[in-house]
């Protein structure tokens, strides 16, 4: 036989579920996209359910099923996506591929979840210890890496590989409405996201009500219904019905429109392992207003306004200051009028810096990092994957 035949690196991607409009599921989907046959890989998702028909998927419900699955134990490498407790992760203690990697998305602390979810959060934190039985851990962010280091994990095994952010459609702050400021919260509607603090801040900032509108958008499937009702009651209590609106579940097109119209993305969250909405906001020309919790200061990259976590007065002050600064700055886009953490910045300079920062999260950038680490860990190289004698 003559000619060449591609030698694909076989990878098992293990994640309990891949669901649409779920942050960790998007990361799993992107991992599968990185490991295409065109790039020299053959990847299959092993887990309980997958809502993406284009993804090669094989159902595995337990660690026992996973360890006995031929697609798993014959793979060259396995990548586990960890963000919540599941029995599949117990397979890290058993056999299987020689190279095992964990994509670490962190766990929301028990004190920030609903009472009913505390046992699951505690089990998830305990299960993190299993991650020691891996060749390498890929943390989504510096804060996730720091968390593992504080737990005594081996620093040489931890690498920071961010998530891909390729939505929404890019736009600029300088192109947005100049007479009224749109503020957007985008994400899961849960107490840990601090939306009650955002409403409280709006109530404490009456001077901006005539020039601002706030939209709260989130997938209701992943949100806490009781908390949503609580937020709606807060809006009514403070007579903010004309200022604050809730969208309910939205599709990608509506998400793009909301980001495209927004001037500020407000995420007063108490815990963020990465925070995709802030990176999405930069793509859309939005200035972030965030708490200083976990990864939020890093993802904001001094291109926004960071205030102390839980300080509603500081949040209200920063909101008012940023709204009026944007109104002035949009009329004079070359003047340094935005009060960002990096210092006074013009609207045009913000647009340039925001787009530069988003290049850190492109598909090409993260795919290259992922593939390079897999090749090094498995002792392979790109030449080997390209072709070998048939």
Q: 172-181 pLDDT, tens per residue?
A: 999 999 999 9
**Is the per-residue pLDDT at 285 higher than 80?**
yes
Which pLDDT does position 220 carry in this prediction? 76
Q: What is the mean pLDDT of residues 87-100?
A: 95
> Which of 252, 88, 248 is closest to 168 using CA atoms?
252
Question: What is the C-alpha separation between 386 and 375, in angstroms, rounded?
Answer: 12
Q: What is the mean pLDDT of residues 167-196?
A: 95
Which pLDDT does position 361 carry in this prediction? 97
In contact, 354 and 146? CB cutoff 8 Å: no
Question: What is the C-alpha separation between 332 and 319, in angstroms, rounded?
Answer: 20
Q: Model's pTM, two decimal places?
A: 0.91
Question: What is the C-alpha separation between 27 and 288, in angstroms, rounded?
Answer: 22
Question: What is the C-alpha separation between 379 and 367, in angstroms, rounded?
Answer: 18
Q: Convert the pLDDT of each residue in 104-140 to its tens digit.
A: 999 999 999 989 999 999 999 999 999 999 999 999 9
Write the secondary structure of the chain as one string of H (helix), E (strand) and C (coil).
CCCEECCCEEEEEECCEECCCCHHHHHHHHHHHHCCHHHCEEEEEEECEECCCCCCEEECCCHHHHHHCHHHHCCCEEEEEECCCCHHHHHHHCCCCCEEEEEECCCCCHHHCCHHHHHHHHHHHHHHHHHHCCCEEEECCHHHHHHHHHCCCCHHHEEECCCCCCCCCCCCHHHCCCCCEEEEEECCCCHHHCHHHHHHHHHCCHHHHHHEEEEEECCHHHCCHHHHHHHHHHHHHCCCCCCEEEEECCCHHHHHHHHHHCCEEEECCCCCCCCHHHHHHHHCCCEEEEECCCCHHHHHCCCCEEECCCCHHHHHHHHHHHHHHHHHHHHCCCCCCEEECCEEECHHHHHHHHHHHHHHHCHHHHHHHHHHHHHHHHCCCHHHHHCEEC
Which pLDDT does position 250 carry in this prediction? 86
Write down all domains in the chain, each with its CATH number in brackets: 4-164+362-383 (3.40.50.2000), 173-361 (3.40.50.2000)
Which pLDDT does position 379 carry in this prediction? 93
**Is the per-residue pLDDT at 384 higher than 80?**
no
In contact, 162 and 361? CB cutoff 8 Å: yes
**Is the per-residue pLDDT at 387 higher than 50?**
no
**Is the per-residue pLDDT at 336 higher than 50?**
yes
Report the Cα–Cα distance between both ends of the chain, in Å, rounded.
7
In contact, 296 and 332? CB cutoff 8 Å: no
How high is the mean pLDDT of the chain? 94
Which pLDDT does position 6 carry in this prediction? 61
Give ∠ CA 52-91-376 in degrees, rounded to 5: 75
Question: What is the C-alpha separation between 102 and 13, in angstroms, rounded?
Answer: 10
Q: Convert the pLDDT of each residue in 27-77 to its tens digit.
A: 999 999 999 999 999 999 999 999 999 999 999 999 999 999 999 999 999
Q: Convert the pLDDT of each residue in 341-372 to its tens digit.
A: 999 999 999 999 999 999 999 999 999 999 99
């Amino acid at each position: 036989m003559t000619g060449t035949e591609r030698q694909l690196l076989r990878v098992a991607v293990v994640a309990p579920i891949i669901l649409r409009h779920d942050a960790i599921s998007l990361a799993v989907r992107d991992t599968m996209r990185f490991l295409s046959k065109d790039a020299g890989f053959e990847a299959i998702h092993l887990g309980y359910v997958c809502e993406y028909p284009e993804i090669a998927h094989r159902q595995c419900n337990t660690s026992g099923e996973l360890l006995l699955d031929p697609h798993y134990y014959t793979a060259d490498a396995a990548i586990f996506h960890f963000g919540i407790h599941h029995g599949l992760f117990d397979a890290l203690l058993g056999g299987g591929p020689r190279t095992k990697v964990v994509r670490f998305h962190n766990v929301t602390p028990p004190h920030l979840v609903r009472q009913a979810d505390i046992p699951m959060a505690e089990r998830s934190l305990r299960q993190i210890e299993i991650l020691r039985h891996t060749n390498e851990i890929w943390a989504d962010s510096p804060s996730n890496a720091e968390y593992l280091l504080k737990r005594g994990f081996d620093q040489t095994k931890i690498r920071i590989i961010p998530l891909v952010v390729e939505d929404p459609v890019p736009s600029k702050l300088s192109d947005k409405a100049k007479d009224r400021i749109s503020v957007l919260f985008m994400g899961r509607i849960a107490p840990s996201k601090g939306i009650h603090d955002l409403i409280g801040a709006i109530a404490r900032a009456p001077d901006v009500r005539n020039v601002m509108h706030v939209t709260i958008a989130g997938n209701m499937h992943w949100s806490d219904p009781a908390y949503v009702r609580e937020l709606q009651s807060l809006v009514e209590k403070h007579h903010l019905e004309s200022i604050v609106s809730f969208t309910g579940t939205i599709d990608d097109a509506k998400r793009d429109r909301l980001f495209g119209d927004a001037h500020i993305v407000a995420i007063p969250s108490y815990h963020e392992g990465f925070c995709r909405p802030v990176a999405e906001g930069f793509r859309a020309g939005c200035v972030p207003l965030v708490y200083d919790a976990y990864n939020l200061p890093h993802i904001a990259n001094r291109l926004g306004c960071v205030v102390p976590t839980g300080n509603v007065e500081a949040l209200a002050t920063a909101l008012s200051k940023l709204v009026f600064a944007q109104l002035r700055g949009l009329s004079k886009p070359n003047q340094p009028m935005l009060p960002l953490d990096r210092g006074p910045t013009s609207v045009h300079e913000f647009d340039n810096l925001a787009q530069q920062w988003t290049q850190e999260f492109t598909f090409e950038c993260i795919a290259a990092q992922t593939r390079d680490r897999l090749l090094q860990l498995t002792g392979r190289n790109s030449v080997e994957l390209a072709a070998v004698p048939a």
